[in-house]
Amino acid sequence: MRLISWNVQWGRNAVGEVDLARTLAQARRLLDFDVLCLQEVTRGFGALPGHPGGDQFAELAAALPGFSVFEAIGADLPPLTTATPAASATQGASRRQFGNALATRLPVERVTRHALPWPADPAAPSMQRAVLEVVLQAPDGPLRVLVTHLEFYSLNQRLAQVDALRGLQLEAAGHAAHPAKAENAAGPFVDTSRPVSAVVCGDFNSAFESDAYRRMLAPLPDSPAFIDAWTALHPGETPPPTAGVYDKVQWSSGPLTCDFIFVTEDLRGRLRRCEIDGVTQASDHQPILLELD
């Protein structure tokens, strides 16, 4: 199974030009992916820098024939009403939505959308964050893939969100160990089993070896813990930066390693490749490539 995780900043490259089709073409050049996990995909946010299209989730579906595309909206806001040129691109949109997307050509079972904690932090601008969980029929059996994007400005919120991700893993382990049977074949009360094995990827807005990063790797009761796929395959090395490599305006304080792919410990033996592409300038972040045996 081949996967890319990438904060694409609504298709905006390192010099501020928006072209989501160009971003997808770059992803395809990097890897013949089975799963594409994206952060900062928008709908109705035409006033953002570079003026993205009206519905980027629909753009993804149109550009990836043969793939199923799923979304998890974090920020869901009413359309702008101020009559300004910048706002005009959003006129007619029912909502302004900002979140994560997952596209896959693998068979898909359960899809779950989770709102992440958003504790009050009056000193920090913030938004509602979400995680998209998709159960895939991978070549070696069912696997949960989760894509997320944690808060940027607030450490307290990031730590709460890491705890929630760990809680979702414990919840899945509980369902795997003690599933409830389906009520019937046609209704929504299906078998509650979920695979323990998981890939959790995205922009964690947490520096390598930061408190949030270390908390993500802490042991879990009754579940395999998470490991960093990159460091597992490059022991003793420090991962290269994943943000601010080429965009020096938004990242004036310098580049940062804050995008990760975590996998449950039981997948360690299936890790074959995990690389951070440091060449593309199609976003302010660099994509991460993962291959599982």
**One-letter-per-residue 3-state SS of the chain:** CEEEEEECHHHECCCCCECHHHHHHHHHHHCCCCEEEEEEEEECCCCCCCCCCCEHHHHHHHHCCCCEEEEEEEEEECCCCCCCHHHHCCCCCCCEEEEEEEEECCCEEEEEEEECCCCCCCCCCCCCCEEEEEEEEECCEEEEEEEEECCCCCHHHHHHHHHHHHHHHHHHHHHHHCCCCCCCCCCCCCCCCCCCCEEEEEECCCCCCCHHHHHHCCCCCCCCCEEEHHHHHCCCCCCCCCECCCCCCCCCCCCECCEEEEEEHHHHHHEEEEEECCCCCCCCECCEEEEEC
How many domains is the chain built from? 1
Residue 216 belongs to domain with CATH number: 3.60.10.10
pLDDT at 82: 59
At 90, is the pLDDT very low, low, confident or very high (cuts 50, 70, 90)?
very low
Q: How confident is the model over 212-270, as pLDDT tens digits?
A: 999 999 999 999 999 999 999 999 999 999 999 999 999 999 999 999 999 999 999 99
Q: How confident is the model over 130-151, as pLDDT tens digits?
A: 999 999 998 888 999 999 999 9
pLDDT at 57: 98
Q: 261: domain range?
A: 2-182+190-292
